[in-house]
Structure 1
């Protein structure tokens, strides 16, 4: 592992040289000594040191606090302030720049060593955390499902583009607002509000899902069928620090299920019609079978009708006698 490179920003020449000597004896490299804030910013850009030791009180228009602020914002390099004295206003300005430490002159070598090592370690961990958060955020922003996250009070702290599109709000519009105020859900059939899973997770600490047939009411009033689940976000001690909500648009699935139900209804209707047709067919075949087995029955029935219509007809009577003998 290479030695950390320290940039010294100190306008007192003897003190700067003494500090350089002590840094080298502690195993650091300190190739440059700068005496003004403007030069400090320029040298930081040119050499990318691992850490800057910055005297608060510097000559010129840019003091140590102003220089440290630029170095932090532009280059993300940790700064430790060194000073013998400073007024309260300057110290308050210095705190706002989020320094990684303060060294008050005169300071011991051990104090210098510990302060630098702690600053370097803290900055390293913060950088890893930022990289991890960036990867995590990139992943959540690129997945197909809508994702929202809240803190332990149910206030929105994250939302990916898919969620923005579905609910109709931009993250900056609802950041630090109650999720329940913008995530409005109702039952598809009863039209009554559905229990928001965020509240349940925060109260019980377990994963919760939405009931079936849930509609999301977007900002513009659009109704979108969704399903979702919410899970607690816990710290390393198991304490709930927030909730993550994952949901998706199930419009196409609802359409498919509706089409399937309609198809099943048509099938049942068709099956019933086929059963009725089959019953009528069986009745017809029974009648036809009877008629085929006794073809003269129809003729006899016709003669009976004719006899009633023309009573006393000799020819009709003789025909009936002949048919009766054959049936």
Structure 2
């Protein structure tokens, strides 16, 4: 016997039976078992309508019903619309009927004539299964909600690498909607390539399934979406097992790596910037130490050189007192005079080098003093050039000067201008071959708006020599000398042009060089009136 009142009294059942006698018998049986009978109906149509209205906890459905809709059709509609569990009661158990009934997903069967014990077991089993299904469904919905709300992209595949789930982030990154992606192979939906080689990385998921372990693929990857958009990603693949430790699928977790990479690049850039700042500070410190050293050494060397120069002069005077003809004698016939001349020339050379270093340090430190004065170029320039005529003639060079007759006087630093012209003419003579021409040209440039500052242009050009294109960008660098260019072997330190460029800039002007078609030309442009130049104010 069935234990008395074991079923809860709150369970309400709707009976669908077209035989009134059987319906009454079933109703009595249910009530004896402690269930409530919410309604008894005789047709499929009425069953659907009543279930929709009353919402019973369970429907006991006869398969064979009179009318257009039989019990199987009615049960299918009730489940689809209302999600109410159905238990079939029938005296027909042939294979065809059972197959149709199974397709509707019933929760149980009771064969007629109905026995109370069978009825109780069938109903309780159906209700328990329904509760478990409901709990499982809620849990699946809960898990699905969690997965869909996670900030990373998640794709679940089965053991055959076919897609079973995509969350919202995965949809956004891949461009696939879950309904469209279901049952697609993972390579169709999750198309990733190696960033460096641009080759496909379709095998990472299958390799993870084969290994059975969590995999973090090495390297940088690009996800190619359905619309062909590229997104850098980080990814991992975790296979999952069933109760028998058989791999049944994998979970692919991935995220957009753009922000991390940008942050990493920013951090690298900041680190490099800090490193460069540190190196710059160190270089500035070293440069200052170098300047201080050169300044100190230059001053320290200047004193003994002055003494040496004085000693040479005293020797010359001594020789002059002994033999008035000695100082004018031929140096080749008098070794003493020749040695004194060598000493004097080398002393002058070292003094010039030290002066260059000191002037360069003053210019670098903005400590060079500008002494403005009016310079009449028609007299000033020929005087400078005249000092080189003898040397040019000795080297079979033609030295010519062209000064525009209407050239105005300029207000500038006469010493600095003389230094500039002297250095450039000296270089031209040093590097020009025999039988070639050196030309010094000076003219006033016409200014076009918006420039209103009058400019005077100096050009020192020499023929027969070209500076290699690779050397042109370096020509004004400190200590740089064009290789194999000193045809007269007069030597130099590589400081001259560096000093000239800084001096020109200090006087508010500019200097540049061109060298082509067998001619080299240095062009210097200076303001006519330096007192009105913005450089003076600065």
Under a length normalisation based on structure 1, what TM-score does the superposition of the two structures give?
Answer: 0.85
Matched, 1:130 2:141: no
> What is the SS of the residue equivalent to 1:80?
strand
Give the Cα–Cα distance (whole angstroms) in 2 for the partners of residues 250 and 199 of structure 1. 23
Identify unmatched segments of 5+ residues in structure 1: 321-327
Identify unmatched segments of 5+ residues in structure 2: 1-7, 315-325, 329-339, 345-538
Give the Cα–Cα distance (whole angstroms) in 2 for the partners of residues 259 and 33 of structure 1. 75
- The answer on whether the counterparts of 1:197 and 1:229 sit within 8 Å (CA) in structure 2 is no
Give the Cα–Cα distance (whole angstroms) in 1 for the partners of residues 22 and 12 of structure 2. 18
- The answer on whether the counterparts of 1:197 and 1:209 sit within 8 Å (CA) in structure 2 is no
Show the counterpart of 1:38.
Answer: 45
Larger relative contact order (CA 8 Å, sep ≥ 6): 1
CA drift at 1:147: 0.9
CA drift at 1:55: 0.8
Matched, 1:69 2:76: yes
CA drift at 1:154: 1.6
User: 1:32-76, CA deviations, whole angstroms, 9 ceiling, x for partnerless residues?
Assistant: 211111211122122211111111111122221121111110111
- The answer on whether the counterparts of 1:185 and 1:196 sit within 8 Å (CA) in structure 2 is no
CA drift at 1:271: 4.2
- The answer on whether the counterparts of 1:232 and 1:243 sit within 8 Å (CA) in structure 2 is yes
CA drift at 1:181: 3.1
Corresponding residue to 1:153 among 160, 164, 183 = 160
Corresponding residue to 1:6 among 4, 13, 24 = 13
Matched, 1:198 2:205: yes
Corresponding residue to 1:50 among 53, 57, 73 = 57
Deviates more, 1:22-31 or 1:245-254: 22-31
Show the counterpart of 2:253.
Answer: 246
CA drift at 1:259: 2.5
User: 1:6-29, CA deviations, whole angstroms, 9 ceiling, x for partnerless residues?
Assistant: 111111111111111111222222
Give the Cα–Cα distance (whole angstroms) in 1 for the partners of residues 217 and 9 of structure 2. 54
Show the counterpart of 1:323.
Answer: none
Matched, 1:185 2:226: no
Larger radius of gyration: 2
> What is the SS of the residue equivalent to 2:143?
helix
Give the Cα–Cα distance (whole angstroms) in 1 for the partners of residues 118 and 172 of structure 2. 53
Give the Cα–Cα distance (whole angstroms) in 2 for the partners of residues 159 and 28 of structure 1. 44
CA drift at 1:195: 6.6
Give the Cα–Cα distance (whole angstroms) in 1 for the partners of residues 301 and 38 of structure 2. 126
Give the Cα–Cα distance (whole angstroms) in 1 for the partners of residues 327 and 174 of structure 2. 94
Show the counterpart of 1:97.
Answer: 104
Under a length normalisation based on structure 2, what TM-score does the superposition of the two structures give?
Answer: 0.53
> What is the SS of the residue equivalent to 2:193?
strand
Show the counterpart of 1:324.
Answer: none
Show the counterpart of 1:217.
Answer: 224
User: 1:70-124, CA deviations, whole angstroms, 9 ceiling, x for partnerless residues?
Assistant: 1110111111111223776554432221111222222422222211111111111
Corresponding residue to 1:260 among 261, 264, 267 = 267
Distance 1:210 1:301, change over 3 A: farther
> What is the SS of the residue equivalent to 1:209?
coil
Distance 1:265 1:13, change over 3 A: same
Distance 1:8 1:302, change over 3 A: farther
Distance 1:219 1:306, change over 3 A: farther
> What is the SS of the residue equivalent to 1:30?
strand
Distance 1:292 1:117, change over 3 A: same
Matched, 1:113 2:129: no
Distance 1:255 1:8, change over 3 A: same
CA RMSD of aligned residues (A): 3.0
Matched, 1:79 2:106: no
